[in-house]
Structure 1
Amino acid sequence: MARTLVVFESMFGNTREIAAAIADGMAASGPVTLVEVGAAPERLPDDVGLLLVGGPTHAFGMSRQSTRDSARQQADGPLVSQGRGVREWLAGLQGRPEVVAHAFDTRVRVRGLPGSAARCMRRALRHAGFTVGEAETFWVTGTPGPLAAGETGRATAWAEGLAARAPRGAR
């Protein structure tokens, strides 16, 4: 049975919380590994059939060193993800077309404010050679959070839906 890998980047803990809810939602359909991007493998393991990648939206897209530095200045304590981000991890990852990859992000809902890390991740996943699936956004109430009410439940339900729709060999 193929394994699902959930890789996340998180500054203040909100994306980590969403990633954990997604992993919980995927767990009923088979083995799931949840990993912070700094500990993510450089090469996708052969037993991974489904990949979910998530991170916070910074400056209209995926984080970069300068936006992580800015988050560090805003934090009351250490950041969850202190090393490389999803952008750097994906840039070095070699995908496989038989692996379906979905993306998710967290961001603040501001009327008229564009941008989504999940949409940028989908492009990077396609460029890396994966079969690209869905992108989903989960909302936080402010830059450091917390998550908006009901978002962890929505993340679990989204993952359950992905698992139900996944090709048989991918889960």
Structure 2
Amino acid sequence: MRALVVYESMFGNTEKLAEVIAQGIGTVMPTEICEVGEAPQTLAADIDLLVVGAPTHAHGLSRPSTRGEAEMMAAAAETHVRSEGIGVREWLAGLESGRTLSAAFDTHVSLSLPGRAARSIERRFQRLGLRVLDSRSFPVKGKIGPITDAELVKARRWAESLASTALAFDSTEADSTEAGRTAD
């Protein structure tokens, strides 16, 4: 059983979360992490857990126009955008997947606004036929962050729990498959 963590990040907050999440999952199973522009369009057969994260833009996943706005904000803050090119929206639109467990996460401003990127990712997972285990949102300070250490600790705990759930789910599936074989 292996996991793949894919992320899109504008100002580095979602990237930091993805790294912490990959470390947490890695305590339970081998885990690979990659930025969305480097992510494979077809999941390897041994990827049993796909975890995808993105920043919330305009109440959902980024679009080319909102990524352009993020680039302007980054320039004003004298920093650079981490994910240039495609975003999670476009990557998921072309993803070929198998029978994989999945989870989603996002970053968002601390304001109480409707819509989250994680929810948009979840809907796309369901359309792809992936089984969604969970999704989480993590607030950042201000419009460009940073993400707090407390949120990173929450993300690590969530990831460890997620990996344990996936492992338990995998063994339950194996048990039911084995039971079906002996009944023949």
TM-score, length-scaled by structure 2: 0.87
State the secondary structure of the residue aligned to 2:14: helix
Q: CA deviation at 1:28?
A: 1.1
Q: CA deviation at 1:129?
A: 1.8
Q: CA deviation at 1:30?
A: 1.3
Q: CA deviation at 1:149?
A: 4.2
Higher helix share: 2
Task: Report what 2:13 is aligned to.
Answer: 14
Residues 59-101 of structure 1 deviation map (CA, whole Å, 9 limit, x = unaligned): 00000000000000000232100010000000011222x3111
Task: Report what 2:81 is aligned to.
Answer: 79
Counterpart Cα distance in 2 of 1:151 and 1:90:
26
State the AA in 1 paired with 2:57.
Answer: H
Larger Rg: 2
Percent identical: 46
Q: CA deviation at 1:131?
A: 1.1
Counterpart Cα distance in 2 of 1:52 and 1:30:
13
Counterpart Cα distance in 2 of 1:130 and 1:165:
15
Structure 2 counterparts to residues 87-126 of structure 1, below 5 A: 87-96=89-98, 98-111=99-112, 113-126=113-126
State the AA in 2 paired with 1:142.
Answer: G
Contact 1:91 1:128 in 2 (8 A): no
Counterpart Cα distance in 1 of 2:16 and 2:129:
28
Contact 1:140 1:146 in 2 (8 A): yes
CA RMSD of aligned residues (A): 1.3
Residues 9-32 of structure 1 deviation map (CA, whole Å, 9 limit, x = unaligned): 000000000000000100111110
Contact 2:52 2:105 in 1 (8 A): yes
State the secondary structure of the residue aligned to 1:150: helix
Q: CA deviation at 1:45?
A: 1.1
Q: Does 1 or 2 have the higher relative contact order (CA < 8 Å, sep 6+)?
A: 1
How many residue pairs were aligned?
A: 167
- Structure 1: which 5+ runs fail to align? none
Counterpart Cα distance in 2 of 1:129 and 1:7:
18
State the secondary structure of the residue aligned to 2:134: strand
Larger displacement relative to structure 2 (135-144 or 55-64): 135-144
- Structure 2: which 5+ runs fail to align? 174-184
Counterpart Cα distance in 2 of 1:165 and 1:144:
32
Counterpart Cα distance in 2 of 1:20 and 1:6:
9
